Amino acid sequence: MMGISRIFHEDKASASAKLDIIKGSAEFSLKESDQWTAAIDGQSFLEGDELRTQPKSEISLDILEGTTLFFDAQSEVTFQTLQEKKGEKKLVLDISRGRIWGNVMGDEYAGKDSFFEIHTPQGVIDIDGAAFDIEVGISEVIVRVIKGSLMVQVKELDKEGTVEVGERRTLKLDIPAKEVILSHQGEGILDGLTEEFEESEWNLVHLEKFFPQEEAQIRRRIEMRAPSNLTNPLDLEVTEDMEPPVIASPVDGFRIPATGDTVTLEGTAPADAYQISVNGYTLTKFQPGDRKWSYFASRRFGTLVPGENLYSVVAITRDGKKSRPAEVTVFYDAVEETPAAEVVEEVSEAPVSEATENSFPAPVVLKPVRENPDESFVTTDAVLTIRDCERRY
């Protein structure tokens, strides 16, 4: 009976949220039902449905064909409003617990009657032009803005207040914070994004999908700061017991036009790979057991240079041995920048001739009056008056 109801329910309207199970599992409950059923990958949900993720699980939702949101383990969401008509989108999600990461930076909700709101136990978050992370707990909600800005609204009886959370800012929304916002002093409770959040795998994995250069820059910062937990991969012993990694893209000989300045290497790792190294750089994002790896090269970081670029990829075992390398050559058609030659202009000082020295007459002191004008003197007068001197040619 549940299956028949689900089919009829999905055909009833086109506005929906499509599920992608990244890992683990999730359950759903239909509108006006208290029965929970295991959700399947690719399933669609409509207005009024509920969805919750299980422990050690993660899902993404493609909502109204354009809004992608990621939900962490033990998150629970109700699709309160899910409508799209004549280009106008209306989306209201009720998040009772859990964590969500999203990017709504475009004009998806730019229509006059369009809006996207996230309702939490502590307040309402108005999303329009922001990449964000929201944690919903029992007594507090943490709102982090990675890009753009969003508005948070709280209500208490006949009072209400709003605060704007700008780019790279954090709002910890609890009872004391709500009181501050209701008194219209909300700006004072905002903090910056913490390094712990920025460098968390939860943030970096999702940041890479929308802002790969920022993600690569943060990972490089982590790598530069932290000492390697292995000997330099270039110095490790080669083992024939493990196959080399596979480079899926780019193809060997790939050319990057001068207008570009980045390239992403992607491929698969052997089953027993403990780490993956590219040109001696150990990929911090790769974890033991992962089958896919990626490496972001950029002119800005010095890992992509004009001309020929050779990338050598090796897999490293848990006991510190490396596979034979897989290699790919990439050509970058940009021109090497050469620093402009410094032009030093020599300034020669013209010799001072007797005529030049005599071109200006010696000044004549008029006040104070002296008995013998040709003799030097000392005066306590604060002001001296001298005769104007005109240059003689």
In angstroms, how far is the first alpha carbon of the chain from the final one? 113
Please tell me the distance from the alpha carbon of residue 91 to that of residue 75, in angstroms, as a whole number.
18
How many other C-beta atoms can be found within 10 angstroms of the C-beta atom of residue 254? 15
φ, ψ at 112 (rounded to 5°): -60, -40
If you compute the radius of gyration of the chain from its CA atoms, what whole number of angstroms results? 34
pLDDT of 360 > 70? The answer is no
Tokens 């929304």 correspond to what residue? 173
pLDDT of 339 > 60? The answer is no
Q: CA 362: distance to chain centroid?
A: 70
Interval 109-149: pLDDT, tens = 888 899 999 999 999 999 988 999 999 999 999 999 999 99
pLDDT of 27 > 80? The answer is yes
Q: Which amino acid is present at 361?
A: P
Q: The domain 229-332 belongs to what CATH superfamily? A: Immunoglobulins (2.60.40.10)
* 363 prior amide bond cis, ω within 30: no
Q: Residue 281's closest CA among 296, 268, 299?
A: 296
Range in 85-89, 133-137, 189-193, 374-378 the model is least confident about: 374-378
Pick the residue with more confidence: 296 or 170?
A: 170
Give the per-residue pLDDT at 105.
Answer: 77
Please tell me the distance from the alpha carbon of residue 47 to that of residue 246, in angstroms, as a whole number.
44
**Mean pLDDT of the 155-183 span:** 93
pLDDT of 235 > 50? The answer is yes
Range in 70-74, 138-142, 166-170, 337-341 the model is least confident about: 337-341
Give the per-residue pLDDT at 362.
Answer: 62
| 2-201 and 229-332: identical CATH topology | no
Q: Residue 6's closest CA among 54, 44, 63?
A: 44
Interval 295-332: pLDDT, tens = 989 888 888 999 999 999 999 988 888 999 999 999 99
Which range in 95-99, 176-180, 355-359 is most confidently predicted, on average pLDDT?
95-99
String of DSSP letters for 186-237: GGGGEEEPPHHHHTSHHHHHHHHHH-HHHHHHHHHHHHHHSPPSSS-GGGSE
Give the fold, CATH level 3, of 2-201: Jelly Rolls (2.60.120)
* Confidence category of residue 292, pLDDT binned at 50, 70, 90: very high
* Domain boundaries of the chain, sorted by first residue: 2-201, 229-332
- Average pLDDT over the chain reads 84
Range in 13-17, 205-209, 261-265, 269-273 the model is least confident about: 13-17
* Confidence category of residue 211, pLDDT binned at 50, 70, 90: very high
Please tell me the distance from the alpha carbon of residue 12 to that of residue 33, in angstroms, as a whole number.
17
Give the per-residue pLDDT at 372.
Answer: 61
